[in-house]
């Protein structure tokens, strides 16, 4: 194996490996590390760019474990960035959209930020009306993680670790989370989570990239065709807190069992869509068996880009970017408009700490939480 180390003024190229032994031309797999910016306290934040042998890239920073950019080829082989994000760290620090991050400790809302666990009531930080959203004001998405590039002949990866102290945002227990992002040779962004705790707690991390497969962030996602392998959703109230009930998708705008344009029913006169200002709900994945299964797909006909989502989680939050309103300038100064991107967040159900009928998100000392989610890219 040939090892190369290059230094340049702006970046350090971390050699991962060469393609020695591969059948075609020599392919150099690299993880590039460069300074992304500094926090106000002087902490340096680095960007790591994973590149696979097909030319796909994923740029990830050790702040919030955020995917800043993700490139994928269209049907003509043209690579474009297909996620929302910012060019600078200051914008991520004040961001309220959770662009590209790992959300935690608990993805989505916990009603009134309160729950009972082993006989004790815990009060979490309130950061969304009267409720707790995405781990609170300073959740995992606003923390500095440690980062470790993982060498691989074919599948460059980055391992990120964060230790969340006992009592952080009101949650019990010191939790250690690791997230490994791998860009595979099959054009997948694979996300593997592990979590441990020293006291019983609740734990439900997820990934929050905003996708627009056209690569043109001045467009909306209303023409994207979405399919979700789910017969039911968990309806919400007017504060977007799950009611604890299940609802059939059949004969409703929530039916994505066959691929459907997102714009087809999004403005229907339907109470759940009024509450969410569009889609902002959890779908109950059919045949949940704790194994990695195909849960959803997304297709954009203009570019031909096709994304499949695989996950071992019981739920999927489909959020159609209803709170984007053109007020923040993202990468290249683009003001991200209403419904210009969407999230597909693999998760346990929202507010499950208060809904015993939902799958449990309780994590106990000695247990190891594991999640695998894969976003797989191809073209049609
Ligand atoms: C939630 C939305 C929330 C958004 C924040 C989504 O995951 O479902 O309700 O507004 O994140 O960016």
Question: Is the per-residue pLDDT at 9 higher than 70?
Answer: no
Q: What is the mean pLDDT of residues 169-186?
A: 98
Task: Determine the pLDDT at residue 196.
Answer: 99
Closest ligand 1 atom to residue 107 Cα is 7
Question: Is the per-residue pLDDT at 27 higher than 50?
Answer: no
Question: What tokens were used for 165?
Answer: 């102290």
CB-neighbour burial class of residue 180 (10 A; exposed 0-12, middle 13-18, buried 19+): middle
| Residue 141 main-chain phi, psi, to 5 deg | -75, -10
Spot the catalytic one: 134, 208, 224, 281.
208
Question: What tokens were used for 260?
Answer: 């459907």
Q: Are 158 and 48 in contact (CB under 8 A)?
A: yes
Spot the catalytic one: 80, 169, 225, 345.
345
In angstroms, the CA 234 to CA 80 distance is: 34
pLDDT tens string 257-266: 999 999 999 9
What is residue 169's three-state secondary structure? helix
Q: What is the mean pLDDT of residues 46-63?
A: 97
Question: Is the per-residue pLDDT at 18 higher than 50?
Answer: no
- For a pocket test of ligand 1, which of 315, 319, 349 has the largest count of ligand atoms closer than 8 A to its C-beta? 319
Ligand 1 centroid–CA 6 distance in Å is: 41
Q: What whole-number percentage of the chain has pLDDT above 70? A: 92
Ligand 1 centroid–CA 253 distance in Å is: 19
Question: Is the per-residue pLDDT at 3 higher than 60?
Answer: no
Average predicted confidence (pLDDT) for the chain:
93
Closest ligand 1 atom to residue 97 Cα is 12
Strand partners, 193: 179, 371
Q: What whole-number percentage of the chain has pLDDT above 90? A: 91
Whether the upstream peptide bond of residue 105 has omega within 30° of 0, thus cis, is yes
Query: Ligand 1 site: residues with CB under 6 angstroms?
Result: 97-98, 108, 240, 280, 317, 319, 323, 343, 345
Q: What is the mean pLDDT of residues 185-192?
A: 98
Q: Is 345 a catalytic residue?
A: yes
Alpha carbon nearest to ligand 1 atom 12, residue:
97
Ligand 1 centroid–CA 116 distance in Å is: 24
pLDDT tens string 197-236: 999 999 999 999 999 999 999 999 999 999 999 999 999 9
Strand partners, 129: none
Alpha carbon nearest to ligand 1 atom 9, residue:
280
Closest ligand 1 atom to residue 276 Cα is 9
Ligand 1 centroid–CA 327 distance in Å is: 16
Question: What tokens were used for 34?
Answer: 């460069």
Closest ligand 1 atom to residue 317 Cα is 8
Ligand 1 centroid–CA 137 distance in Å is: 13
Q: Are 119 and 84 in contact (CB under 8 A)?
A: no
Across 222-245, b (16+ Cβ under 10 Å) vs e yields bbbbbbbbbbbbbbbeeebbbebe
Instruction: Give CA angle at 288 (287, 294), nearest 5°.
Output: 80
Ligand 1 centroid–CA 83 distance in Å is: 16
- For a pocket test of ligand 1, which of 109, 205, 280 has the largest count of ligand atoms closer than 8 A to its C-beta? 280
In angstroms, the CA 6 to CA 159 distance is: 22
How many CA within 13 A on the CB side of residue 65? 30
- Name the band, by pLDDT with cuts 50, 70 and 90, for residue 29: low
Q: Is 208 a catalytic residue?
A: yes
Task: Determine the pLDDT at residue 154.
Answer: 87
Closest ligand 1 atom to residue 343 Cα is 7
In angstroms, the CA 375 to CA 41 distance is: 34
């Amino acid at each position: 194996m040939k090892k190369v180390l290059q230094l340049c003024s702006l970046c350090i190229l971390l050699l991962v490996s060469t393609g020695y032994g591969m059948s075609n031309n020599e392919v150099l797999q690299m993880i590039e590390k460069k300074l992304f910016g500094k926090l106000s306290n002087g902490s340096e934040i680095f960007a790591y760019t994973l590149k696979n042998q097909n030319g796909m890239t994923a740029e990830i920073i050790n702040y919030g474990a955020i995917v800043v950019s993700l490139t994928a080829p269209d049907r003509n082989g043209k690579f474009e960035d297909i996620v929302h994000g910012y060019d600078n760290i200051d914008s991520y620090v004040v961001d309220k959209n959770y662009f590209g991050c790992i959300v935690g400790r608990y993805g989505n809302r916990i009603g009134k930020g309160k729950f009972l666990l082993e006989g004790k009531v815990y009060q979490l930080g309130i950061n969304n009306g009267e409720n707790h959203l995405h781990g609170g004001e300073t959740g995992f998405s606003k923390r500095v993680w440690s980062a470790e590039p993982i060498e691989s002949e074919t599948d460059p990866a980055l391992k990120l670790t964060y230790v969340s102290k006992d009592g952080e945002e009101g949650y019990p227990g010191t939790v250690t989370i690791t997230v490994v992002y791998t860009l595979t040779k099959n054009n997948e962004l694979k996300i593997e989570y592990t979590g441990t705790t020293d006291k019983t707690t609740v734990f439900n991390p997820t990934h929050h990239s905003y996708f627009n497969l056209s690569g043109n962030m001045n467009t909306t996602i209303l023409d994207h065709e979405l399919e979700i392998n789910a017969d039911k959703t968990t309806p919400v109230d007017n504060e977007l807190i799950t009611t604890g009930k299940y609802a059939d998708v059949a004969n409703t705008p929530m039916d994505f069992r066959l691929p459907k344009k997102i714009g087809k029913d999004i403005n229907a006169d339907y109470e759940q869509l009024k509450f969410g200002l569009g889609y902002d709900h959890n779908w109950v994945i059919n045949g949940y068996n704790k194994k990695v299964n195909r849960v959803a797909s997304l297709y954009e006909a203009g570019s031909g880009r096709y994304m499949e989502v695989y996950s071992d989680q019981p739920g999927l939050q489909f959020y159609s970017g209803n709170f984007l309103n053109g007020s923040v300038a993202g990468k290249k100064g683009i003001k991200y408009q209403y419904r210009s991107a969407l999230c597909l967040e693999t998760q346990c159900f929202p507010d499950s700490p208060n809904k015993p009928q939902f799958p449990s998100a309780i994590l106990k000392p000695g247990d190891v939480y594991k999640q695998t989610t894969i976003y797989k890219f191809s073209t049609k």
